Amino acid sequence: MSSNAKPGTAILRRAVARNGKRLWLGTVLAGIYQISAALIPVLIGVIIDRAVETGSVTALLTWIAVLVGLFGVLAVSYRFSARNLQRAIAEEGHRLRVEVAAKILHPRLVRTDRPAGDLLTISTTDADYTSYVLDHLPRVISAALAVVVSAVTLLVISAPLGVIVLVATPIMLVTLNLAAPLIANRIRLQQDQAGRTTALATDLVTGLRPLRGIGAQDAAAERYRVVSREALAATLSAARAQNAFQGASTMLSTLLAGGIAIAAGWFALTDRITVGQFIMVIGSAQFLIEPFGTLAIVPRWYAAARASADRVASVLNAGLILPEGTADPATSELRLRGVKHGPLAGLDLHVRPGEFVGVVAYRPAEAEALVRLLTVPDAYEGDLLLGGQRLEEVDRARRLMHVEPHQTDLFTGSLASNVDVHGTGVEFAEVIRAAAADEVGLDTPIAERGSNLSGGQRQRVALARALFARSPLLVLHDPTTAVDAVTEHAIAGGIRGLREGHSTIVITSSPALLAAADRVVVIEDGTVVAEGAHADLSARDDTYRQAILR
């Protein structure tokens, strides 16, 4: 418990530390506000004692003026306290959000198995809940202050009454806190279940097209309903614990305040304090219920903030897959020697600068393993070298090699912003032509994830984007699967023409693309089994012909 509690606590501590100035200024002002509020019942007692009881108009006017002044202090301290604290909370929530995003988008790739919906919850709800600790702290401090001020007032009026407050308050809080772990547990369960409903909703909405394709919307809605009911059960279980706690807390704090009032009443009946003092005691005791309640609720707040901070920490503290890249190779020569990774069992591959190489894997899983390895050089054996340096150690900023993912991701914007992704302003009509994407007009707006384009159009825009990068070594993976044969032929020529003088690897089994390559490397059972020109391979290798020629 304590070991996995630490990461969240560290996040909360840091939130406090880095918002120090606003937080402490806000807290001091919140204290002044709280003292002013604590003095109001005292003033009510004074007014009744000095004015209502005596019938003196002067006293009435004087003390009403004091009341007005007190409200002035109260209002001003509140406004500046709240604004400072809110600014700190908003700032912290924003910083956490950006940190979570930065971690997820880290160039060295974060190691996390959380689904996208979960990450969204962490970046929104959890970042906010964590930042609320900056609200909790001032509340606790000012509530404690209010208790102290009221206690002092009570001590001045009557020492025994003050002692009762000072002794009974901690006893009550300790008693109530016994329930805190149970409540925290239930809240954690509730939040986990809420996270599950969000993750499921995200998953189903993301897969809406395939769902619709088989008319499974009702089945999906039913699946969501089941999870939603589980979340409801968790919410109700947490609500039972919380409200039982709330009821007990109300009862105990009312009993405490009532006890004080009874004692004060007895003192007044036996003439040890005046009527005005009695009212001050009652007012203070009554007023005390609120700060007492705040103090009693703190564990609950803190539990919620910590549960969220734990989740934020699990992302922020997640490891990175790639080491820091320091190597700076001179050429884009790619060499794989005896590489083992997933289905790849000792793969050798050598691509010299300027070469156009086609790679055929008889089993798609092997092609995907190769692409994955070139994208994320992790968890492999053997040598994987770029310009003679280990690939994972090459400084990514050099960008000698560009691996275009097969699954195309376009982003909301324009065709220009999706092709010329770095906004260089260089003319890009040429790559659009080479990728045969002319029909997508140059000023076409691109909707979220390119949803306004067809699959084939998305693929060709992504290809144009890859060509535009003009990387010394370009790796393409099945770039033309959603394109018809005639267009594919044109694209093969387009790639060949644009990549003249640069190295290109096309992992594919498309004859059109393979025919355009200088040489073709064939992978079977994780190793290279054949190599040669496409025409020769098709002429002499039956297996190759069957795999490639359709």
Partner 1 sequence: MTDQLTVATPGESRAWLRTELRTRKTQAALTLTAGVLAAAASTIPAYALGLLVDRIRAGSDAGAIVPVAVVLVAAAVVGGIATAFGGYLTARLGSQILADLRERTIARALRLPAQVLDRAGRGDLLSRVSADISAIDRAVSEVLPGMISALLLAGISLAAMIGIDWRLGLAGAVAVPLYAIGLRWYLPRAAPSYAAERVAIADRSQVFVESMQGTRTVHAYGLEDRHLGSIEGLSARARDISMNVFALYTRFVWRINRAELTGLASVLVVGFLLVRHGVVSVGAVSAAALLFHRLFNPIALVMVTFDRVQDAGASLARLVGVLDMDVERRDGGTAPAGRELVLQDVSFRYQGGPPVLSEVSLRVAPGEVVALVGSTGAGKTTAASLAAGILRPESGYATVGGVAVTELPADSVAIVSQETHVFTGPLAEDLRLARPGASTGEVSAALDRVGALAWARDLPDGLDTVVGSGGHQLTAAQAQQLALARVVLLDPPVVVLDEATAEAGSAGARDLEQAAAAALRGRTALVVAHRLTQAASADRVIVLDHGRVVESGSHPELIAAGGRYAGFWAAWSATDRR
Q: Can you spell out the DSSP letters for 40-87? A: HHHHHHHHIIIIITTT-HHHHHHHHHHHHHHHHHHHHHHHHHHHHHHH
Q: How many residues bind partner 1 (CB under 8 A)?
A: 178
* CA-based radius of gyration for the chain: 35
Binding of partner 1 by 414 (CB under 8 A)? no
Q: What DSSP state is assigned to residue 323?
A: P
- Residue closer to partner 1, measured from CB, 338 or 481: 481
Binding of partner 1 by 25 (CB under 8 A)? no
The CB-of-433 to partner 1 minimum distance in angstroms stands at 14
Binding of partner 1 by 435 (CB under 8 A)? no
- Residue closer to partner 1, measured from CB, 121 or 389: 121
Residue 24's alpha-carbon distances to 33, 82, 130, 146, in angstroms, are 14, 12, 18, 17
- Taken in order 94, 98, 104, 105, the sign of the CA dihedral is positive
The CB-of-550 to partner 1 minimum distance in angstroms stands at 5
Residue 362's alpha-carbon distances to 344, 507, 523, in angstroms, are 12, 11, 6
Binding of partner 1 by 50 (CB under 8 A)? no
Decide: 240 and 276 in contact? Cβ < 8 Å: no
- Residue closer to partner 1, measured from CB, 5 or 233: 233
Other Cβ atoms closer than 10 A to 17: 9
Of 191, 198, 193, give the one whose Cα is nearest residue 303.
191
- Residue closer to partner 1, measured from CB, 50 or 338: 50
**Cα separation, 89 vs 122, whole angstroms:** 16
The CB-of-212 to partner 1 minimum distance in angstroms stands at 6
Binding of partner 1 by 404 (CB under 8 A)? yes
Of the candidate spans 3-11, 137-145, 166-174, 402-410, the one that interacts with partner 1 by CB under 8 A turns out to be: 402-410
- Residue closer to partner 1, measured from CB, 2 or 550: 550
| Lookup: tokens for 62 | 């004087």
H/E stretch holding 530 reads strand 527-532
Q: What DSSP state is assigned to residue 126?
A: I
List % helix, strand, coil for the chain (3-state, nearest 5). 65, 10, 20
The CB-of-394 to partner 1 minimum distance in angstroms stands at 13
Binding of partner 1 by 543 (CB under 8 A)? no
- Residue closer to partner 1, measured from CB, 387 or 479: 479
- Residue closer to partner 1, measured from CB, 237 or 338: 237
Site for partner 1 in 61-120 (CB under 8 A): 64, 67-68, 71, 74-75, 78-79, 82-83, 86-87, 90-91, 93-94, 97-98, 101-102, 104-107, 109, 113-120
**Please, what's the b/e burial string for 38-51 (b: 16 or more CB within 10 A of its CB; e: otherwise)?**
bbbbbbbbbbbbbb
**Binds partner 1 by CB under 8 A, chosen from 27, 34, 123, 389:** 123
Site for partner 1 in 219-248 (CB under 8 A): 219-225, 228-229, 231-232, 235-236, 238-240, 242-244, 246-248
Binding of partner 1 by 477 (CB under 8 A)? yes
CA angle 132, 138, 140 (to 5 degrees): 95
Site for partner 1 in 255-294 (CB under 8 A): 255, 257-258, 261-262, 265-266, 268-270, 275, 278-279, 282-283, 286-287, 290
* Interface map 170-209 toward partner 1 (x if CB under 8 A): ------------------------x--xxxxxxxxxxxxx
**Cα separation, 468 vs 455, whole angstroms:** 20
* Interface map 306-345 toward partner 1 (x if CB under 8 A): ----------------------------------------
Site for partner 1 in 481-520 (CB under 8 A): 481-489, 507-512, 515
- Residue closer to partner 1, measured from CB, 5 or 205: 205
Decide: 438 and 492 in contact? Cβ < 8 Å: no
**Cα separation, 458 vs 208, whole angstroms:** 19
